[in-house]
Amino acid sequence: MRLEEINQRLSAIKAEINTEGADLDALDTEVTALKEERKGIMDKAEKRKALLDGVANLENPTIIKTFEEEKEKRTMEFNKENVYETAEYRSAFLNNLRGIELNEVEKRAFTTATGSAGAVIPTTTQNKIVEVVKQQAPLLNEIYLMQVPGGVSIPVEDVVNEAAKHTENATITASDDTLKYVDLFGYEVTKLLYISKSVLKMSISAFETWLVNSLGKTLAAKITKSIIYGTGTGEAKGVDKITWGATNSVTVALAGSLTAQSVLDTIALLPGGFDANAKFLMSKKTLLTDFVPLQDKAKNNLVSQEGRNYFIQGYPVMLDERITLHEAILGDFYAGYYGNMPEDANVDGGFVRASNNYEYLGACMFDGKPAIEDAFVKIVKAVA
């Protein structure tokens, strides 16, 4: 049908626009013509529907839509809105993963989607995975996170000279301020899930919940680990890979003891500009075995607690079991660490005869690195 051809051509033009040597004027003219033709088709369909509704309201005849008319109506509905957001496509995508035969409505939704951009994860399912990822990887809510397809280069102040005193009528000379660029692209993070044939007995909602939770938790664990310890080679670069020294870290020797003064010395190393939004990052065990015992209300108010939230010298504490025991990082993660998720999470798979089970591969893209290393300081208690 002509409407499908128009939508497919518009999708193809999107790709052509970014090709080298593309005739943008010709493409602009073609897009305008296609939009006008599509509007005419839609207007005609709406007019036909209004006429049918008017006839149906008459006292005598009952208008029965043919299967082809209903199919055309449903197809136009899928094209008029984002098909990935429809309930029909959601059920089609999830049933297809389980190898369950699709009904006619699901087939039309699935065909509309795969005919334009391939079978991608439904919008609602995608949002649920992202929600679980952020719940399980709270650091994603703390860093400066972007979602730029393909990659992004972010300018960051490197050397900023002080403002100069100006003598009236004298020539103003620009200072030699410099910028550095943080280049972020995307490294693939994947997880392969297995489940028995019991997947066929699940409802769509139950299957989606299992898929979302299983993928979200495992992808979150890997992303969080890369934000903290990523090598920067084939994956994101972690905060721990900052060059640590006497100007930005405190190390308590093996023979020594962690003290309240050690913690205060660490806090003192953090530049004042990052102080307002700074937070501690450590494991729960480090907090309870190393820091809480330092609290002595007769001498200090180092550690405080509000409900289940802890604060060290007023700085909020973020808990994550992936950080090394007896280590803690203090910093402004939003100002100091930039991340990019250039593509949404997706999932593919199905039944595998060799293993007699269902396998699903979940994948997403992430890259990140410390943009301003001065935004972080660290304290370590040596244990070996």
DSSP string, 238-271: PGGGS---TTTEEEE-TTS---HHHHHHHHHHS-
Q: Residue 318: phi, psi to the nearest 5?
A: -100, 130
Q: How do the residues of the chain divide into helix, strand and coil, expressed in percent and rounded to 5?
A: 45, 20, 30
**Confidence class for position 2, pLDDT limits 50, 70, 90:** confident
Of 225, 296, 256, give the one whose Cα is nearest residue 380.
256
Question: DSSP per residue over 20-44, as a string?
Answer: TT--HHHHHHHHHHHHHHHHHHHHH
Using the predicted structure, report yes or no on whether residue 305 has a pLDDT greater than 60.
yes
Per-residue confidence (pLDDT) for residue 23, from 0 to 100: 79
Q: What is the mean pLDDT of residues 103-118?
A: 74
Q: Is residue 159 within 8 Å of residue 177, measured between CB atoms?
A: yes
273: helix, coil or strand? helix
Per-residue confidence (pLDDT) for residue 185, from 0 to 100: 80
Per-residue confidence (pLDDT) for residue 162, from 0 to 100: 53
The pLDDT tens digits of the residues spanning 157-209 come to 654 445 556 566 566 555 555 566 777 888 888 888 888 888 888 899 999 99
Span between the terminal Cα atoms of the chain, in Å: 72
Per-residue confidence (pLDDT) for residue 165, from 0 to 100: 62
User: Which of 257 and 155 is assigned the larger pLDDT?
Assistant: 257
d(CA 279, CA 143): 11
User: Which of 68 and 127 is assigned the larger pLDDT?
Assistant: 127
Q: What is the mean pLDDT of residues 102-111?
A: 86
Using the predicted structure, report yes or no on whether residue 250 has a pLDDT greater than 50.
yes
User: Which of 104 and 161 is assigned the larger pLDDT?
Assistant: 104
Determine which of 1-5, 239-243, 257-261, 320-324 has the lowest per-residue pLDDT on average. Answer: 1-5
7: helix, coil or strand? helix
What percentage of residues in the chain have a pLDDT greater than 90? 34
**Confidence class for position 64, pLDDT limits 50, 70, 90:** very low
Residue 192 in tokens: 């392969």
Domains of the chain: 2-117 (no CATH), 121-160+177-384 (3.90.1690)
Residue 154 in tokens: 């972010």
What percentage of residues in the chain have a pLDDT greater than 70? 83
Per-residue confidence (pLDDT) for residue 144, from 0 to 100: 92
**Residue ranges of E strands in the chain:** 144-146, 152-159, 178-184, 187-195, 249-252, 279-282, 303-306, 309-312, 315-319, 327-331, 337-340, 346-352, 357-370, 376-381
Using the predicted structure, report yes or no on whether residue 133 has a pLDDT greater than 50.
yes
User: Which of 161 and 15 is assigned the larger pLDDT?
Assistant: 15
Beta bridge partners of 235: none
CA-to-CA separations, 282 to 125, 139, 287, 384, in angstroms, rounded: 32, 12, 7, 19
**Confidence class for position 76, pLDDT limits 50, 70, 90:** very low
Q: What is the mean pLDDT of residues 261-285?
A: 95
Q: What is the mean pLDDT of residues 146-165?
A: 67
**Confidence class for position 67, pLDDT limits 50, 70, 90:** very low
Q: What is the mean pLDDT of residues 304-320?
A: 94
Half-sphere exposure of 21 (CA within 13 A, CB side): 0
d(CA 328, CA 250): 10
| CA-CA-CA-CA dihedral for 367, 372, 375, 380, to nearest 10 | 70
**DSSP conformational letter for 320:** -
